[in-house]
Structure 1
Amino acid sequence: MTSVARDAPFASLPSVDKVLGEATTLSLIERHGRTCVVTAVRDWLAEKRADIAAGRPAAIDEATMASELAHRVARQVAPRLRRVINLTGTVLHTNLGRALMPTEAVRAVAEVMESFGNLEYDIESGGRGDRDDLIVPILAELTGCESATIVNNNAAAVLLALNTLSRGKEAVVSRGEQIEIGGAFRLPDIMARAGCKLREVGTTNRTHLKDYAEAIGPKTGLVLKVHKSNYAVTGFTAEVEEAELGALCRERGVPFLVDLGSGALVDLSRWGLPKEPTPRETLAHGASVVTFSGDKLLGGPQAGIVVGDKDLVAKIKKNPLKRALRVNKMTLAALEAVLGLYRDPDRLREKLTTLRLLSRDTAEIRALAQRLKPVFERALGEGVSVSVEECASQIGSGAQPVERLASAAIVLRRSGPKGMSPTKLERTLRALPVPVIGRIADDALRLDLRCLENEAELCSLLDVIPVKTGIQPGR
């Protein structure tokens, strides 16, 4: 065979310039710009050459080319960070972004994003300001602290406090509180990075006041107590109350640092939720410095909040690491707006999204599930069994690890030998224009409806399923 004969199939491929000159391609360029469209065209042609070389059919008619290029460009320009519908049953889901922002926070962020603001400018004096000063007054009001500072997450807050107050010295902590948080970040490793030496006291399940008293000495930088927000130790246990430890630290002249982790600002039992220690209570018990998260039970943006004694917080703020860990104007705007909601506790549940989802009435969720059951049946057809079942939601993100919230779920199971498996059902829902995320358990796909507030949107998404998958709707 001559080289001309071998090259004949490739010769049928259009050039890059020819494809770019087509009306449909020019339309893509008009909407998305030339650079990404040229990339899509080159990749499309390379794929066709590979098909021809492998002896596979390579459709290059005008309609196919237009459709495939449009799909390529759309996939190329689509944002990687996408909105999803969380039906996992975990309200504060780390992988899905944790706390949802209330309307007030969204508006505050949008305003500072599109305009200049007094981030580090004192309007009264006309001089340079401190960005923490935007938040300190309201944190003092809500927690009773003397001063405060904000960093990008609670792990950073603990790291900064340890590095400032105990660098080159010992940090005394109970063996039963040497936690590991998500991503295998362990407290002993954080201490090592902070430049302080771990001095563990007590045992895994029992630590007494005398253990701390015997450990405190000239080499002690601080005593650390870690709230067990992401695990529980039960059985034959003992731990020292904050007030006792606070009194001991004051007597010995040693800073008392408490890491609250999940960061509840108020007593959640008012809304039928498990009680969590609050920063105000912890400071009243004698803590010198308290750290907690902004994006967990507090219901705000990702942030690490440090509150406590004025002199100690001032030292923390002067640490060179503080600049590396500081937050931007969007975080501060969102946090201030969320904190402002706590000034009106009577309407807090109504306005704070996290609290509303956590305290949602079970009967309301069950009624929602009953309304959605026939919608799922119509969308998924005969190959799927749809039922409404009781389930238990969890708070998530290291908050209240053993507590569960009564809820209701749509449960999807394979019906018959040709029905869809839970894995295929899960992929189908993830492939929707707005991905729907559930969880597979006990050979079924379970969709906990606690976090679903836009019922109409889910119904419209389910209407897309037969079109995308070829499923025969009905039932």
Structure 2
Amino acid sequence: MRPPSVDALARSLADTGLPHPLLVDAARKAIADGDLEVVEKRARSHAHAAARSLLHPVVNATGVLLHTNLGRAPLAVSADAAYSNLELDLSSGRRGSRHAHAAALLARLCDAEDAIVVNNGASAVLLVLAALSTGRGAAVSRGELVEIGGGFRVPEVMEQSGAILVEVGTTNRTRLADFASAAENPANDTALALKVHQSNYRIVGFTEHVTVAEMASLDVPVVADIGSGLVDAACPWLAHGPPAWLAGEPAARQSLADGAALVTFSGDKLFGGPQAGIIAGRADLVQRCGRHPLARALRPGSLVLNALQQVTLAYLRRDGEAIEFWRMASLATADLEDRAQSAVAESGVGDVAHMASVPGGGTLPGTEIDSCGVVLDGDQTGSLRAGSPPIIARVSDNRTWLDLRTVAPGDDRHVIAALKALG
């Protein structure tokens, strides 16, 4: 049997919606497999695999609000195909600064003198250290020399920045005197003291740590990497104030009020925006960061800045409902139970069950938020992922759990259709 024409085979797959070059790749793979009797079936299988490898909207039923594998904070920002005044001063008609828009709003929101935006949280730390501490010491507690997801290690980032790591204290106990001793030692040439959010781990038991307010008494600037991006511990954008599960999480406004010279945090965690890194605080230090050569390499584009602007404006309006993370996090469990009962009744599949959501994204480890959803017997995650749209659930004790806290109400119909298909 002669192999079919690659072009003809590719054209037979046009209904998949993929561009012709990708269909040609699928056809070539199928022919190379060698089994010509099923070549069209194999080509279609390769085409579907290529399509599923692309970015797709998914329904997050895991109960992890900031799911790193699913893009962390869900974000609904639309923009028409248009130019913007990214670096144009509309008043003078002259070249402006991309930091005059979202960054200026972020400074206002954090009650900071100035702010700058880079492309992620690690970049924010890298830029601060490079701009303020290259060739000089940066004092950090040994208990905060953390590694978080993706192999991000604080000591390695410091090395890449050119800062010289000055370890103080011990893993479980660090005192203000440890920082003061390091800062006063001429051999260290300490340029700053860095306080690092411990992210997804905690040290408990015989412990001691130094607060930002205590560190502010040092003779060097204090940089607080608060990581997860809580803007204000008072949560004025929520009608009922801060939820109990948020207790103890460091916040930008309070860290600056306590004496931090700069704060750094991620835009796509508790802030609820796009992936970005924010540096806010003293104007002279922010401007030093902005003048550093790395600032250009790490700066985000107009799409990210526009998304940040929209989210920041929602905070300034105190409109938590407009920030999807906070809308989900604030849902009443009783409302979730009503939705779960409707899903089970309409599909005839599964049981209503109370469960626990988690913040995720390396934020508030061990914290659980009461929730409700649907539970199924056995591991059904593969079948749920195969649907359109894919539904991502979790398995525990040989049961599949679909937590409705992280499912947008408009996606309940997809959950119900998937449950019916399983039945």
Q: Does TM, scored on the shorter chain, surpass 0.5?
A: yes
C-alpha deviation, 1:459, in angstroms: 1.9
C-alpha spacing 1:16/1:240, structure 2 compared with 1 (3 Å):
closer
| Paired residues for 1:386-465 under 5 Å | 386-414=350-378, 422=379, 425-453=380-408, 454-463=411-420, 465=421
Code of the residue aligned with 2:326 in structure 1: it is L
Q: Give CA deviations for 1:214-258 in whole Å, capped at 9, x if unaligned.
A: 111331011111233432222222222211211x22xx2x12111
| Paired residues for 1:28-47 under 5 Å | 28=14, 34-47=20-33
Assess if the C-alpha contact under 8 Å between 1:271 and 1:359 holds in 2. no
Code of the residue aligned with 1:403 in structure 2: it is T
2:340 alignment partner, one of 349, 362, 369: 369
- Alignment: residue pair count: 411
Q: Distance in 1 between matches of 2:243 and 2:136?
A: 43
Structure 1: 5+ residue stretches without partners: 1-9, 53-57, 379-385, 415-421, 467-472
Q: Tell me the secondary structure at the aligned position of residue 359 of structure 2.
A: coil
Cross-structure match for 1:228: 198
Q: Distance in 1 between matches of 2:226 and 2:100?
A: 23
2:221 alignment partner, one of 237, 247, 255: 255
Q: Tell me the secondary structure at the aligned position of residue 394 of structure 1.
A: strand
Code of the residue aligned with 1:298 in structure 2: it is F
Cross-structure match for 2:69: 95
Cross-structure match for 1:51: 35
Q: Tell me the secondary structure at the aligned position of residue 306 of structure 1.
A: strand
Assess if the C-alpha contact under 8 Å between 2:102 and 2:306 holds in 1. no
Assess if the C-alpha contact under 8 Å between 1:412 and 1:446 holds in 2. yes
C-alpha spacing 1:262/1:37, structure 2 compared with 1 (3 Å):
closer
C-alpha deviation, 1:129, in angstroms: 1.3
- Structure 1 residue ranges (4+ consecutive) displaced by more than 6 angstroms after TM superposition: none
What do you get for the CA RMSD once the two structures are aligned? 2.4
Q: Distance in 2 between matches of 1:17 and 1:245?
A: 68
Structure 2: 5+ residue stretches without partners: none
Q: Distance in 2 between matches of 1:229 and 1:33?
A: 42
1:145 alignment partner, one of 109, 112, 118: 112
Q: Tell me the secondary structure at the aligned position of residue 123 of structure 1.
A: coil
Q: Give CA deviations for 1:361-393 in whole Å, capped at 9, x if unaligned.
A: 111112222222245545xxxxxxx33222111
Cross-structure match for 1:55: none
Q: Tell me the secondary structure at the aligned position of residue 395 of structure 1.
A: strand
C-alpha deviation, 1:31, in angstroms: 6.5
C-alpha spacing 1:85/1:242, structure 2 compared with 1 (3 Å):
same
Code of the residue aligned with 1:372 in structure 2: it is A
Q: Give CA deviations for 1:311-361 in whole Å, capped at 9, x if unaligned.
A: 11111111111111100000000000000001222xx23211100111111
Q: Give CA deviations for 1:89-110 in whole Å, capped at 9, x if unaligned.
A: 11001110011114xxx13xx1
Cross-structure match for 1:7: none
Max Rg structure: 1
Code of the residue aligned with 1:338 in structure 2: it is V
Q: Distance in 2 between matches of 1:302 and 1:283?
A: 22
Q: Distance in 2 between matches of 1:131 and 1:320?
A: 16
Assess if the C-alpha contact under 8 Å between 1:393 and 1:448 holds in 2. yes
Cross-structure match for 2:253: 280
Q: Distance in 2 between matches of 1:165 and 1:89?
A: 40
1:359 alignment partner, one of 330, 337, 340: 330
Code of the residue aligned with 1:354 in structure 2: it is F
Code of the residue aligned with 1:360 in structure 2: it is L
Q: Tell me the secondary structure at the aligned position of residue 360 of structure 2.
A: coil
TM-score computed with the length of structure 2 as normaliser:
0.90
